[in-house]
């Protein structure tokens, strides 16, 4: 059996999703004439109660476009030291926008209003970069799928308003956060200036993310998407996958979360595991006891047909997803239990 727990980006379209893609009505989206893309953009903007949305090929491009919209070269954004925009977007913050990052060591990728307040540069102190943007991530990738307390987000928004700072949400896995909290998409749309949401992770689409914001923000985003090379032609085939996923697959996320928690419970009891971070959604991060090589551990899992990934510094990651079936799950649980020989 082959089981891939490296990421939730490894999913493949279902038969039903493929049928929806094949049946899509398409046009030229560069000219905004693709009816399926327009339908998806309008649907997601309305879902979050925001004015407009724009379809992109990747979440990295949506984040980088948002940063470009909210900043000028020489500015500084504030984010957690685990943030995807800082760690996993190829240095795009500096390359694309000429912006530096003020990093905060938060709690599993989450920062507080109090922490942010301490690092906002005085706007009239020209020796320091001008602080113009705060970027949050929900759920947190490197933080193990942790979810923000919405009251903290409200406090951060109030602070940003006081200091005239824009607030962007990297919501690559916001769908997962929404499944475990009482807040609605509209609640998030009311707070953030821009939001990036991904279709190709938990929702199981092959490609795609959307940037949400005001009409003015999205007008600017179209230009930056063009500059970044993200304009696509008959992309309605991909947009149709997004429409299908939102209509039919959102409720399946709770199964991914259940399986991740069960994996965490089993790992917690293994004598070769030092620590399992709290499991809230579909990302599980754990570390091995001293003396066990994580490289060899991953190789041994590979021999059993199970693929996971190392985050470095002793942390290993598993990510559950819609293609990770119950049969896969039972096999992985059994394999982990049998590996007690490690200790």
Q: What's residue 310's pLDDT?
A: 95
Q: Where are the domains of the chain?
A: 3-8+252-342, 13-249
Structure tokens at 191: 């707070």
Q: Is the pLDDT of residue 343 over 80?
A: no
Predicted confidence (pLDDT) per residue in 66-83, tens digit: 999 999 999 999 999 999
The CATH number for 13-249, chosen from 3.40.640.10, 3.90.110.10, 3.30.450.20, 3.40.50.970, is 3.40.640.10
Q: Would you say 139 and 73 are in contact if contact means Cβ atoms under 8 Å apart?
A: no
Helix, strand, coil abundance in the chain, percent, nearest 5 = 45, 20, 35
pLDDT at 249 over 70: yes
Print burial letters for 126-137: b (CB count within 10 Å at least 16), e (below 16). Answer: eeebbbbbbbbb
* Residue pointed to by tokens 């942390």: 315
Could you name the CATH architecture of 3-8+252-342? Answer: Alpha-Beta Complex (3.90)
The pLDDT of residue 213: 98
Sign of CA dihedral 58, 218, 223, 234: positive
Helix 236-248 and helix 15-22: axis angle, to 10°? 140
Tell me whether the CATH fold assigned to 3-8+252-342 matches the one assigned to 13-249.
no
pTM here?
Answer: 0.96
183-229 pLDDT tens trace? 999 999 999 999 999 999 999 999 999 999 999 999 999 999 999 99
Q: Is the pLDDT of residue 307 over 80?
A: yes
Sign of CA pseudo-dihedral 169, 198, 323, 296: negative
Phi, psi (5° rounding) for residue 195? -135, 135
Radius of gyration of the chain (CA): 21
> What distance in Å separates the CA atoms of residue 10 and residue 27, rounded to the nearest whole number?
28
pLDDT for 38-64, tens place per residue? 999 999 999 999 999 999 999 999 999
The SS3 of residue 10 is helix
């Amino acid at each position: 059996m082959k089981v891939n727990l490296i990421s939730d980006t490894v999913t493949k379209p279902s038969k039903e999703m493929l049928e929806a893609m094949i049946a899509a009505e398409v046009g030229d989206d560069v000219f905004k004439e693709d009816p399926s893309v327009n339908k998806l953009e309008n649907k997601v903007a309305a879902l979050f109660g925001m004015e407009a949305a724009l379809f992109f090929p990747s979440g990295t491009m949506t984040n980088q476009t948002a940063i470009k919209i909210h900043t000028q070269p020489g500015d500084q954004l504030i984010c957690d030291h685990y943030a995807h925009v800082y760690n996993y977007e190829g240095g795009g913050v500096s390359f694309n926008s000429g912006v530096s990052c003020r990093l905060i060591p938060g709690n599993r990728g989450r920062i507080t209003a109090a922490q942010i307040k301490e690092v906002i540069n005085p706007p009239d102190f020209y020796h320091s970069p001008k602080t113009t943007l705060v970027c949050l991530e929900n759920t947190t990738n490197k933080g193990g799928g942790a979810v923000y307390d919405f009251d903290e987000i409200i406090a951060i928004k109030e602070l940003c308003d006081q200091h005239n700072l824009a607030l962007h949400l990297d919501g690559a896995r916001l769908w997962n956060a929404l499944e475990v909290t009482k807040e609605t998409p509209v609640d998030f749309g009311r707070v953030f200036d821009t939001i990036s949401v991904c279709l190709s992770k938990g929702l199981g689409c092959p490609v795609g993310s959307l940037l949400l914001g005001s009409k003015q923000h999205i007008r600017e985003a179209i230009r930056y998407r063009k500059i970044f090379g993200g304009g696509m032609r008959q992309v309605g085939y991909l947009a149709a996958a997004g429409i299908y996923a939102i209509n039919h697959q959102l409720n399946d996320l709770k199964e991914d979360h259940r399986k991740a928690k069960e994996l965490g419970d089993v790992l917690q009891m293994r004598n070769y595991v030092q620590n399992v971070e709290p499991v809230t959604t579909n990302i599980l991060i754990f570390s091995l006891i001293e003396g066990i090589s994580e490289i060899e551990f991953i190789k041994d899992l590979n021999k059993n047909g199970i693929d996971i990934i190392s985050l470095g510094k002793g942390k290993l990651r598993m990510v559950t997803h819609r293609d990770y079936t119950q049969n896969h799950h039972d096999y992985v649980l059994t394999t982990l239990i049998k590996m007690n020989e490690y200790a």
